[in-house]
């Protein structure tokens, strides 16, 4: 039985009669081919990626497995429509924490229509894309209150994230305590999720090494999707010998990939470098907590919690 994904954090959703992705519960994620040539562009990208002799096999592991296209009833009841059949990156996970990070200071491809350029540049400027080279598109964090309890800020709230919000959410994402404006993220899972030989930073460094030389593709508006389960990360954090947290890191959304034409993708590469720096800061200084921690330290020193509004 096909249904709307339970844990989707960004993008178009198959809800309220809208066109969006479907999952079969057996490990496949079906993304409907979008109009304006975007769907065709995404199929062309996957086909090229998985058949290109110059793409190293280890790089393919950073992408969802691609199983061609399949015509399925569209979620908006518009009838049969081709869908990309991709590995469901959340398969087998009951309580996933996930974050979608859209990479690149600019999300619009060269030569795109003027109205699309205008729409994108406004979002790039108003979000952290221009300032940081990436922005948060959506996030969900499992709440310690229960396996089925999640903290998921609204799309509107995420759209307003500024630099300090991004810094904070990257800490909250790897914290065992619940996200709260009044509580410093404890970053207890940072070394298990971001660190270690299989952690996010090691994977990002491997991906970055490829982007330093690959000139085949330019990825506009694509995202890094991070997924893990807190139970596994807590178990990994408790092990001395560095057990893996099982974090999954994949790139998604290739509706605006262009040919690289022999030039490196400096837009995407710059965003990756910036993200690496932000995550390294979390790993190297798990005690720092942005604005909240400064408030807490001050309040401890003079004992005036009320004066500081905490």
Ligand X SMILES: O=P(O)(O)O[C@@H]1[C@@H](OP(=O)(O)O)[C@H](OP(=O)(O)O)[C@H](O)[C@H](OP(=O)(O)O)[C@H]1OP(=O)(O)O
Ligand Y SMILES: Nc1ncnc2c1ncn2[C@@H]1O[C@H](COP(=O)(O)OP(=O)(O)O)[C@@H](O)[C@H]1O
Quote the CA–CA distance of 310 and 295 in Å, as a whole number. 8
**Is 38 a binder of ligand X (CB under 6 A)?**
yes
- Return the one option of ligand X, ligand Y, none that residue 173 interacts with (CB less than 5 to 8 A, by type): none
**Strand 223-229 vs strand 96-103: parallel, antiparallel, or unpaired?**
antiparallel
Edge-to-edge strand list for the sheet holding 22-23: 22-23, 28-32, 80-87, 66-73
d(CA 88, CA 24): 9
Largest CA distance in the chain: 66
> What is the layout of strands, in order, in the sheet containing 134-142?
150-151, 134-142, 96-103, 223-229, 248-252
Beta carbons of 161 and 136 less than 8 angstroms apart: yes
Figure out which of the listed residues 10, 22, 33, 257 binds ligand X, where binding follows CB under 6 A. Answer: 10
86's contact among ligand Y, ligand X, none, with CB below 5 to 8 A by partner kind, is ligand Y
Q: Per rule CB under 6 A, is residue 10 in the interface with ligand Y?
A: yes
Asked if residue 123 binds ligand Y (CB under 6 A), the reply is no
Q: Which string of x and - marks every residue 22-61 that binds ligand Y (by CB under 6 A)? A: -------x-x------------------------------
Shortest approach of ligand Y to residue 19 CB, angstroms?
9
- Give the per-residue contact string, 137-166, with ligand Y (x = CB under 6 A; - = no): -x----------------------------
What residue ranges bind ligand Y (CB under 6 A)?
Answer: 5, 8-12, 21, 29, 31, 64, 86-90, 100, 138, 223, 225, 252-253, 255
């Amino acid at each position: 039985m096909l249904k709307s994904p339970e844990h989707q954090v960004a993008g178009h959703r198959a809800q309220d009669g809208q066109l969006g992705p479907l999952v079969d519960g057996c490990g496949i994620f079906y993304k409907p081919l979008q109009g304006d040539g975007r769907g065709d562009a995404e199929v062309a990208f996957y086909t090229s990626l998985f058949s290109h002799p110059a793409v190293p096999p280890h790089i393919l592991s950073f992408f969802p497995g691609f199983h061609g296209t399949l015509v399925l009833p569209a979620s908006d009841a518009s009838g049969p429509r081709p869908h990309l059949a991709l590995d469901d990156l959340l398969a087998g996970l009951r309580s996933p924490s996930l974050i979608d990070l859209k990479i690149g200071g600019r999300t619009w491809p060269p030569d795109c229509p003027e109205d699309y350029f205008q729409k994108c540049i406004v979002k790039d400027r108003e979000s952290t894309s221009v300032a940081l080279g990436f922005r948060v598109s959506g996030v969900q964090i499992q709440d310690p209150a229960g396996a089925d309890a999640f903290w998921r800020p609204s799309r509107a709230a995420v759209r307003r994230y500024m630099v300090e919000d991004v810094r904070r959410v990257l800490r909250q994402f790897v914290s065992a305590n619940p996200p709260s404006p009044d509580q410093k993220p404890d970053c207890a899972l940072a070394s298990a999720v971001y660190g270690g030989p299989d952690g996010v930073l090691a994977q990002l460094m491997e991906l970055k090494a490829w982007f330093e030389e690959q000139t085949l593709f330019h990825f506009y508006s694509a995202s890094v999707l991070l997924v893990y389960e807190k139970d596994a990360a807590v178990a990994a954090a408790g092990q001395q010998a560095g057990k893996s947290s099982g974090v999954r890191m994949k790139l998604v959304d290739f509706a605006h990939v262009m040919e690289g034409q022999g030039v490196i993708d400096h837009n995407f590469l710059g965003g990756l470098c910036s993200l690496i720096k932000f995550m390294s800061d979390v790993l190297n200084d798990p005690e720092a907590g942005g604005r909240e921690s400064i408030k807490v330290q001050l309040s401890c020193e003079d004992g005036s919690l009320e004066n500081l509004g905490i």
